[in-house]
A and B are shown apart, each in its own frame.
Chain A
Amino acid sequence: MRKRLSDIYCVFQIHLARLRRETGPFLLAAIVFPVGMYLFASGIAQQNLAGSIPNEYKVHFLAASLVFSLSLTAISWLGYLLLENRFTGRLKLFATLPLAPSSYIFGVLIFALMQGAIGTVSMIIAARLLGVETHIDGFSGVLQLTLTVFIALLSLCGTSVIIAARVRSFSEGSLYTDALGAGIVLLAPVYYSSETLPFFIRWIGYVLPTTYIAGAVNKILAGNPFIGGELLVLSAMAAITLAGGFSLMNWREE
């Protein structure tokens, strides 16, 4: 058990060194682009409303941008790292060690959780600076947000692990991670309501985790504590994608 924990921590440290070296791109994905999306959505709303937008809208756009941040971090950025590990032979190096594949995945997940935490806190601070009034319900609200971000990241990271394990080439994988990182936010009712979508596209939203992450985060930021349904669906999605990722991640080539 001690060895397992040490292995997980070492995998985390290796990826942390990467983050330290490449802070710029991470900040772009986790904060700059999502803040940009917040401003974009707010700007459109302001034009349509022909005046200042209500705080309720601002909170909605903040929740959506938080989801965008988590998605870019967990799928585009983390997926890229996992692909790089696989296709530059680094995974091969791990495979030669007495290291369980699950230790590698857990190390990567902890790294993703840390990134998600940095992104979420930064986004909330940025929102305050932009004049958004959130109504996080004290300590329990913070706890709910932490739990939501945790489960959300697990469901998104599971997708990254599956992509990194299944694709046949680096370019194929990075196309998937780039497209999905932004795509699963734009195809789901995250910035807008599902009613605005054509009926035949709405069903896509039902199977995307971003729909439920946005729903839960929106409720928490608005001070509504009833997020059990969203968390249940997200937990199921996380369990399925991670189980898939674990089963596909095997050091041994058949």
Chain B
Amino acid sequence: MTGTHKNELAVSVRNLFKRYKNGTQATCGIDFEVRQGEAVAILGPNGAGKTSFLRQLTTELKPTSGSVNIFGVDAVKNPNKAKTRMGVTPQEAGVFETLTVCEHLELFGKFKGLDKTFARIQATEIIKNLELENETKQKVGELSGGQKRRILIGLALLGKPPLLILDEPTTGLDPISRRAVWRLLKRIIDGGTTVVLSTHYLEEAEFLSDRIAFIKSGKIIADGTLQELRAGFPNKYRVNYLNGGGQIGIPHTEFFSDFASAQDFIKTNEIDEYQLATSSLEDVYFSVVGERSEGGATDRNAVEQ
């Protein structure tokens, strides 16, 4: 998409609450904004409220209270109008298995208001971008799980909507297919399309998004660019090392606020096998959501304090 206005809001969410009939509080007063052309990843543990939040953006789930605006359209009051501005890949959606890949994309293109010719042109283009050219005439039911997932992403791209909402778009894809989807999404983001995606793959969030929001217990607990999030994380360096005293080593991780402390730790403990690196998004993730990574990561400074 061309001509996007980076400062204008694509998504504006205010005080969003969702309480299910069984009493589960899915979102607890979320305030969230996405500017046009921005790509935002939503991260959080299972059950944190990511899908409930995204389903309220896509109008599938009616909020208990609060507002959702999509390009200035009140999505709570005018869901159909809001939906014309977005392409959605739900987390658990089924495809129509008796249609061919081409038929599926063409028919859904028509649902998005494309005429027959444009639907065909876009279907062909998307099939090429999703690297499914060899499967064009194949029934969707005959495809692998990963290929079906790519079709779902393709359906969201039909009509070239200015906003894409993707709920775990690459879950279930093998690494090669995942990277193919990333490349495609990256091109779309670079073209100016606004993207909101949820994922469990931190690498995906890092590769695709301009901004990352962490959600936990239905609340956004941290939100910023990767640099901003890292800056807020006190431990800038991590040391991964094997500790076994000559036997088979047990992997350990220690965090340090400065490079010298990290070097000092290695020297003092006479560690031969180690990896010294700046803290990753994963470290920030565990710090923010309050869970500890495998391998016994400890916050050195915190311990020292």
Contacts and interface: CB of A to CB of B under 8 A. Distances in A.
Interface of A: 3, 6-7, 10, 13-14, 17-18, 20-22, 88-90, 92-93, 95-100, 251-254
B94 A14 contact: no
B58 A14 contact: no
Nearest to A19: B98
Given A92-B60, A93-B94, A100-B80, A17 B99 contact: yes
B60 A251 contact: yes
A99 B96 CA distance: 16
B107 A13 contact: yes
A97 B112 CA distance: 7
Nearest to A99: B111
Contact of B93 (A10, A13, A93): A93
A10 B60 contact: no
A20 B139 CA distance: 12
Interface stretch (B28-36, B84-92, B191-199, B215-223): B84-92
A154 to B, nearest CB: 24
Contact of B95 (A20, A93, A95): A93
26 contacts: A7-B111, A10-B111, A14-B96, A14-B99, A17-B96, A17-B99, A20-B98, A21-B139, A22-B98, A90-B93, A90-B96, A92-B92, A92-B93, A93-B152, A96-B93, A96-B156, A97-B112, A98-B80, A98-B83, A98-B84, A99-B111, A251-B59, A251-B60, A252-B62, A253-B61, A253-B62
B126 interface: no
A14 B83 CA distance: 21
Contacts of B99: 14, 17
A89 B83 contact: no
B267 interface: no
Contacts of B83: 96-98
Contacts of B265: none
B93 A18 contact: no
Contacts of B98: 17-18, 20-22
Contacts of A251: 59-60, 79
A22 B96 CA distance: 13
Contacts of A17: 96, 98-99, 103
Top 6 A-B residue pairs of the complex, sorted by shortest distance between their CB atoms: A89-B94, A96-B88, A88-B94, A21-B98, A89-B93, A90-B94
Contacts of A14: 96, 99, 107
Nearest to B110: A10
A96 B84 CA distance: 9
A96 B60 contact: yes
A96 B79 contact: no
A70 to B, nearest CB: 23
A96 B58 CA distance: 7
A95 B99 CA distance: 19
Nearest to B116: A6
A95 B62 CA distance: 13
A3 B115 CA distance: 10
Contacts of A254: 21, 62
B108 interface: yes
Nearest to A94: B111
Interface string B234-265: 00000000000000000000000000000000
A253 B59 CA distance: 9
Nearest to B85: A98
A10 B252 CA distance: 57
Nearest to A18: B98
